[in-house]
Structure 1
Amino acid sequence: MKFKALGLWVVLGVSAGCASGKPTALERRQAVRDSLDKTYRSTEGFQAARWGMTLEEVRAALPEASVGPDGTLRMQTTIAEVPAEVALGFLDNRLAAVDVFFADVADPRTFHSLMQDLLTRKYGEPKKRIDVARELQWKKLPIRFAADLMPVQEVEAAATVQTTESALAQGRPKLINRWTTLESHVNLTQWSLPSRSVVAIQYESAKYAPKRADLIGRYSTKARQDLVKEL
């Protein structure tokens, strides 16, 4: 009887809150979460850009970045003396993912070793290979692109633009190693294409990863399966 009385009291309390026009406890907690989301800025990200930054803040932090022909914010840079293309992905106008592509790696094995050392210095020890292999087998580690997120600018005929991601979507990725912190998920990945190999460092905000998992992007396997139906 005590449990029934308690349940009735909770229901009456929520109803009274709605009837009085005052926010309920649940609504107040949601308002606090929404407020924290708006002010969230991680200590991690890519270079001077941090997870949670708005598009305007990222462009101020990375002034060399500009909107590419597909509507994605991109930049050209050099990392470890190797040319790199960077794609920055936003979720609800917040920086949520970054891909760094290295298309001109002369010695991939040596480059892998260098990147693993640098990423370990920044994020700590990577996950054990057996754990990564197990998660891949269970399909808990989707390899997705920052450009899968909504473009920062709508561009005419963007779907027909040839990008690094559209080329890689035809290849087969190999996850070399993975790092995780409370703020970031980082994959070191290699794609083998008929004429070349492309190495990528894919950064993802841990905070936005669950919401991103529900999205179907332009270069995802599901998206390509849907396109097959048109043939």
Structure 2
Amino acid sequence: MRLIVLGCILMACLTPGCVTTREELIEKKRHGAMEDWRSQGAAYRSSEGFQDARWGMRVEEVRELFPDGKMLNENAMRWKSTIADLPAVVTFAFLKGRFVAVDVFFPDAGNVRDAHLLIRRLLNRKFGTPVRDRDTADESQRRVGSYRSAADTVYVLGKLTESLTGVHQDQYAQQRIDVRAENDEAEARRQARAASKRFLLLSRWATVESDVKLRSVKTPGIDAVVIEYESARYAAELAAARQRTRELELQRMTKEL
């Protein structure tokens, strides 16, 4: 009887509804850790952050670690260095005097795609496999392939229908289908060519204490590679800060009208 029950439980957990993604597991662990983080209050110091700086450190503590850093205002410090053999501009972010986020911008990364792959490989060594990857140029190329496949499928389907039924297919109808498919394919190829000049690469890692995003963008006149680190402990505060910033920007623009 126990074996039957165990088998039923196992089968239930093999269903799609029982599958848990890595992101969901991390989110569950964060939820469990949040009470402990908050109970630590001002004493909270993460085991993660950026280099020797840890989430939750006071501004003074971070400045001691990076004495060459320059305070831009009470919420931000700028530090220039060389990271992964590339010149980098690092911006440390603080909320209520606590270290909560950091951006690492590479202004002279050379080939954007090569730089992204190099930095992604290094971040993999530190954080493991990304929970998400996106390449808009690759998506456009795959779209071309999908339209080609659709056109071929429609053509073969027409041939099979004709041979099985013995009824000669309406050639004009087939041509209309082919034209539509080829127009879609031509549009997809145009988008793929444009994507080779304009693309976004995005890789995202998540741990219990941090969110890390590697964004690389190429557009005419702009080549940008940036790593964004954010503290999971201060996620709600960061979201509120973003909302507040948007509101202040809208107020500023409204005054200009």
| TM-score normalised according to structure 2 size | 0.55
3-state secondary structure, aligned to 1:113: helix
Q: Is the 8 A contact 1:184 1:204 kept in 2?
A: yes
For 1:106 and 1:37, the matched residues in 2 are separated by: 43
Q: Match of 1:80, as an amino acid?
A: A
Q: Match of 1:87, as an amino acid?
A: T
How far 1:212 sits from its partner (Å)?
Answer: 1.1
| 2:78 paired residue among 74, 77, 82 | 74
Structure 1 stretches of at least 4 aligned residues deviating more than 3 Å after TM superposition: 32-35, 68-71, 172-175, 191-194, 220-228
**Equivalent residue number for residue 192 of structure 2:** none
For 2:66 and 2:239, the matched residues in 1 are separated by: 26
For 2:70 and 2:224, the matched residues in 1 are separated by: 22
3-state secondary structure, aligned to 1:126: coil
3-state secondary structure, aligned to 2:242: coil
The reply to whether residue 42 of structure 1 matches residue 46 of structure 2 is yes
**Equivalent residue number for residue 61 of structure 1:** 65
How far 1:228 sits from its partner (Å)?
Answer: 3.7
The reply to whether residue 202 of structure 1 matches residue 228 of structure 2 is yes
**Equivalent residue number for residue 209 of structure 2:** 183
Q: Is the 8 A contact 1:51 1:94 kept in 2?
A: yes
Structure number with higher helix proportion: 2
For 2:247 and 2:221, the matched residues in 1 are separated by: 26
3-state secondary structure, aligned to 1:52: coil
User: For residues 173 and 62 of structure 1, do their structure 2 counterparts lie closer, same or farther at Cα, with a shift above 3 Å needed?
Assistant: farther
The reply to whether residue 127 of structure 1 matches residue 131 of structure 2 is yes
For 1:228 and 1:83, the matched residues in 2 are separated by: 34
* Structure 2 segments unaligned to the other structure (5+ residues): 1-35, 137-197
Q: Match of 2:55, as an amino acid?
A: W
3-state secondary structure, aligned to 2:102: strand
The count of aligned residue pairs is: 160
Q: Is the 8 A contact 2:89 2:105 kept in 1?
A: yes
Task: Name whichever of 115-124 and 35-44 sits farther off.
Answer: 35-44
Q: Is the 8 A contact 2:106 2:226 kept in 1?
A: yes
3-state secondary structure, aligned to 2:240: coil
For 1:33 and 1:71, the matched residues in 2 are separated by: 22
**Equivalent residue number for residue 22 of structure 2:** none
**Equivalent residue number for residue 119 of structure 2:** 115
User: For residues 96 and 61 of structure 1, do their structure 2 counterparts lie closer, same or farther at Cα, with a shift above 3 Å needed?
Assistant: same
Task: Name whichever of 193-202 and 87-96 sits farther off.
Answer: 193-202
For 1:221 and 1:34, the matched residues in 2 are separated by: 27
For 1:44 and 1:55, the matched residues in 2 are separated by: 16
Q: What's the Cα RMSD here?
A: 3.0
**Equivalent residue number for residue 211 of structure 1:** 237
How far 1:66 sits from its partner (Å)?
Answer: 1.9
**Equivalent residue number for residue 24 of structure 2:** none
Q: Is the 8 A contact 2:76 2:94 kept in 1?
A: no
Instruction: Give 1:73-112 correspondences, 5 Å limit.
Output: 73-112=77-116
For 1:180 and 1:118, the matched residues in 2 are separated by: 15
For 2:73 and 2:45, the matched residues in 1 are separated by: 28
* Structure number, greater radius of gyration: 2
For 2:54 and 2:37, the matched residues in 1 are separated by: 19
